[in-house]
Structure 1
């Protein structure tokens, strides 16, 4: 997925004629015809976030675009039968509303920060603001994000998240529709970027927040909002340089920060007239993991571990070793090298890191062991978007799922189940084979786990996996559900959707109980 190829960079940034291309309208449509059966234990809503540029995609980066929610509401009707409804809505941020009113782009986007032209745009931006030609991007405000990356559910609201802003609150309605509300600052006390992968603790109900700053120290900030919505803890995390810190991890008692060498380097833009972004992977800098107690009050409580240069976009989960709670286990997808000029030349490996807080030693090993478990000769499994049963966040889990990548095309073609205790593949569903299509025809994205609420004894993998699939030949989209325990190839239910659903980033399952609680 990483390259510095100018040609491939330019083509991907355009995104024309691919399933990254945005859709222009919003709709809510009942799905009355589908194959299979909607399980009675699957009542709630699958929601996925992603970029959908309202003014077109010319010159944009993959990370640009306004947040749009695509969703599938599953519910029991008054006659006891299961029903389905598809909905897509923009996250109605002030930024989106301001630009729609002006009928033009008013805010800087990543795709505009390339080469010397990007520097010129940055320098002219304050002048454009003074002249009323650009939107106000006040660092102290944190209310100008696109909210296009991920989702969390906290205090009866769906939160749309992005790297640079406060979380944006969305109310979920009975019929599956959405009502955009406002940026959440929790009593005007939270005023920092809230990264897309901040975590909700399934036991304490706390919202564990971190965000990174590229322009001034501290380059990372950490905060906790308790289950009642009070900002209960905050800490400035001191790291030596500004970096892209896309994810972090938590355990029951510890928090793990990822200081990886994808550094912010605006000078890089000055060295290239047109193509370079201000981020670069610096292979001369080691990757670092900073582990601290959840409620650490100073940097003195951190233990730092260093390893060879690498990058982690997404963690799967972390937990404390049951036999030694001073040992922390982290499962992640590890890139050897990464740039923002994406293509498909670098695929992430699934890795287990173990950190001993007493001896200060760490180990690194591939999750899957089939006799080729060395870093020099890795198992040929490449993928991203790792997920677990979210009720196990920060706790010992046995199973995880990720989507496998086609190493030639860079698309995601299958979902793989891992047995983390046995260090083995516990199942694989090829998207094309599952839908009876020719190999490589069906592509998808992150697969989200939803528990089966009708079972009396709940097992970790007792539930369903779901995602949106795209038929690259017919240009059609589907919503598919599979049995997460058996990993049977045939979908439990397959629904052809009334429109093409573009590729996106992250999603979640919101239970019927959560939806109902948010209505009152």
Structure 2
């Protein structure tokens, strides 16, 4: 007789080091600063990530599934006036903390861990997740207001990666929900916070569509081979067989509206966030393709273009271009050769920054390797999103699967050069965001900022670098640790 070894949390890659959760909500005022904070910075740097309230079972925990915790630093008048971290009070988190849940927005999606992105839109602070999960609204001080349905206009969930059109201020998104069959939904949310445009797009299989790209004229979809498979969440053979049948059914058939509504309400009563693994698998035999939808088009107007099997968690940007053969779309993406193939470890080696050029006339897609350093979390000056860009910033990782973050990379895509900055031994950066020095500043005139964890001191700093040189500008010292999370944004006080 043999027994299966039960892994300890100390052995789990996303429950150790700076991925491990913190246990306290903290408010710190008048933070010390090394260097000088630019006077024009008046707003909040916000970041969110998984942070389980209670110790999860390491046999089943996945980084994507942890309860959400928001972190923020308020900058103004050359000072860092506060740091705060707060759990996002979903129904599950409120129950675990012994607090009443705010309730509401019952049809805006499943009530689940709000842990992936945090943005400002229509005067509100919103925490976002994908896969049919409802957004959550926070106060300026990061306390939870409650779930949001965008003034009654959002149904069935939202995306974690919406895009602000820099000309109109509208919020574009491509969202999916496992109970709505094999389709995704493109929405446009106005500056008033209400969804004003919606297009349902059928797909041949239920795809995990984590990100998309917006250009001036098109919405680009990444239909890549990561498919829903509920059998990955169970171990016994009979249960896997049932799960495979259920997967086939929900892939082919959208749940009736009354079933989806009941499931969304039912998610509010779940005792805790489910931690039984990710219900997706790598399926390269299915192939990969990108879809091009005119912004004002219908699903019938989409054109599909095949690409080699790979996965794109995050795209840097895309833009329309006129080439030798006519109209083109240029896409700069972080390309994973495969995902969900190595158990708990999410990122493999050979994650590269690539350029895909879609020739709309010939139907060909040309691939070009821009940088072969292992990297993720691409960002740029959001003022040029959907337009031609020159610069991009990514997080560089140490070689090998599961290597820690070690550097920030600044890519000059006009010159084909990359500049790298490291922060010293044992110091690990997260995603950095660009903030211009003014509304009319050049694309590289400003700062990039993000959290950097110090292993020796077991705490984090907010580090600001000059965007053009990557020279240090200022460091805000935080007395606690900010765990590695997902995405953040600079939200100016006037937004």
TM-score bin (small chain): 0.7 to 0.9
The equivalent of 2:261 in structure 1 is none
1:45, 1:229 → 2: CA distance? 20
Find the aligned partners of 2:477 and 2:79 in 1 and give their Cα distance.
17
Q: 1:189 to 1:247 in 2, by over 3 A?
A: same
1:359: Cα distance to partner?
Answer: 1.9
Structure-2 separation of matches of 1:305 and 1:330: 13
What CA deviation, in whole Å up to 9, does each residue of 1:485-520 have, x standing for no partner?
1122xx211232111111111000111322xxxxxx
Q: Shift of the alpha carbon at 1:248?
A: 0.7
Q: Bigger shift: 157-166 or 382-391?
A: 157-166
- Report the equivalent of 1:53: 52
The offset of 1:241, in angstroms, is 0.7
TM-score (norm 2): 0.83
The farther-off stretch of 180-189 and 63-72 is 180-189
Q: 1:206 to 1:263 in 2, by over 3 A?
A: same
Q: Among residues 476, 494, 497, which one is paired with 2:478 in the alignment?
A: 497
Give the TM-score normalised by the residue count of structure 1. 0.79
Q: SS of the residue aligned with 1:97?
A: helix
Q: Is 1:287 matched up with 2:291?
A: no
Deviation at 1:141, TM superposition (A): 5.0
Give, in whole Å, the separation in 2 of the partners of 1:13 and 1:492: 36
Indicate how the Cα distance of structure 1 residues 238 and 470 shifts in structure 2: closer, same or farther if over 3 A, else same.
same
Task: Return the alpha-carbon distance in structure 2 between the equivalents of residues 213 and 457 of structure 1.
Answer: 39
Matched, 1:452 2:411: no
Residue 18 of structure 2 corresponds to which residue in structure 1? Answer: 19
1:36-86 deviation line (CA, Å, top 9, x unaligned):
11111222211111111112233321112221111111112xxxx534321
Distance 1:243 1:154, change over 3 A: same
Q: Does 1:317 align with 2:314?
A: no
Map 1:176-325 onto structure 2 (within 5 A).
177-269=141-233, 277-297=278-298, 299-321=299-321
Instruction: Report the counterpart of residue 86 of structure 2 in structure 1.
Output: 89
Evaluate the alpha carbon distance shift between residue 513 and residue 140 of structure 1 in structure 2; reply closer, same or farther with a 3 A threshold.
closer
Secondary structure at the counterpart of residue 458 of structure 1: coil
Aligned to 2:331: 330
Q: Secondary structure of the residue that 2:93 maps to in structure 1?
A: helix
Structure 1 residue runs of 5 or longer lacking an equivalent are: 1-5, 107-135, 369-378, 433-437, 515-520
Q: Following TM superposition, by how much is the alpha carbon of 1:345 offset from its aligned partner in structure 2, in angstroms?
A: 3.7
- Measured in 2, the distance between the counterparts of 1:327 and 1:294 equals 15
- For residue 417 of structure 2, the aligned residue among 409, 419, 424 is 424
Structure 1 stretch displaced more, 479-488 or 140-149: 140-149
Matches within 5 A, 1:406-417: 406-408=398-400, 409-417=402-410
- For 2:388, the equivalent position in structure 1 comes to 396
SS in 2 for 1:48: strand
In the TM superposition, what is the alpha-carbon distance from 1:15 to its structure 2 partner? Answer: 4.0
Tell me the CA shift for residue 219 of structure 1. Answer: 2.6
Does the 8 Å contact 2:182/2:205 carry over to 1?
A: no
TM-fit CA distance, 1:32? 4.2
Describe the shift of the 1:204–1:382 C-alpha distance in structure 2 as closer, same or farther (beyond 3 A). Answer: same
Query: Are 1:480 and 2:463 matched, yes or no?
Result: yes
Measure the CA separation in 2 of the matches of 1:395 and 1:345: 31
Kept in 2: contact 1:35–1:495 (CA 8 A):
yes
> Structure 2: how far apart are the matches of 1:62 and 1:102?
25
Gaps of 5+ in 2: 241-275
SS in structure 2 opposite 1:312? coil
How far residue 283 of structure 1 moved from its aligned partner, in angstroms, is 1.9
Contact 1:31 1:495 in 2 (8 A): no
Number of aligned positions between the proteins: 446
Residue 468 of structure 1 pairs with residue 451 of structure 2: yes
| RMSD of equivalent CA atoms | 2.8
Tell me: CA distance 1:10–1:352, structure 2 relative to 1, closer, same or farther (3 Å).
farther
Q: Is the 8 A contact 1:345 1:407 kept in 2?
A: no
Deviation at 1:182, TM superposition (A): 2.7
Alignment of 1:115-194 (within 5 A): 142-163=109-130, 164-172=132-140, 177-194=141-158
Contact 2:393 2:411 in 1 (8 A): yes
Rounded to whole Å, the distance in 2 between the matches of 1:139 and 1:364 is 43
Aligned residue in 2 for 1:361: 364
**Local SS of the residue matching 1:19:** helix
For residue 388 of structure 1, report the CA deviation from its aligned partner. Answer: 0.3
Closer, same or farther: CA 85–9 of 1 in aligned 2, 3 Å: same
Q: CA deviation at 1:192?
A: 2.3
Query: Take 1:13 and 1:214, find their aligned partners in 2: how far apart are those partners?
Result: 27
Distance verdict in 2 for CA 1:198–1:92, change over 3 Å:
same
**Alignment partners' CA distance in 2, 1:8 and 1:258:** 35
Distance 1:39 1:364 in 2: 40
* Aligned mates of 1:405, 1:63 — CA distance in 2: 19
How far residue 266 of structure 1 moved from its aligned partner, in angstroms, is: 2.4
**Is this contact kept in 2: 1:337–1:346, CA < 8 A?**
no
Q: Deviations over 1:258-284 (max 9, x none)?
A: 111011122445666799753211121
Distance (whole Å) between structure 1 residues aligned to residue 218 and residue 404 of structure 2: 35
Structure 2 vs 1, CA of residues 463 and 227 (structure 1 numbering), >3 Å: closer, same or farther? Answer: same
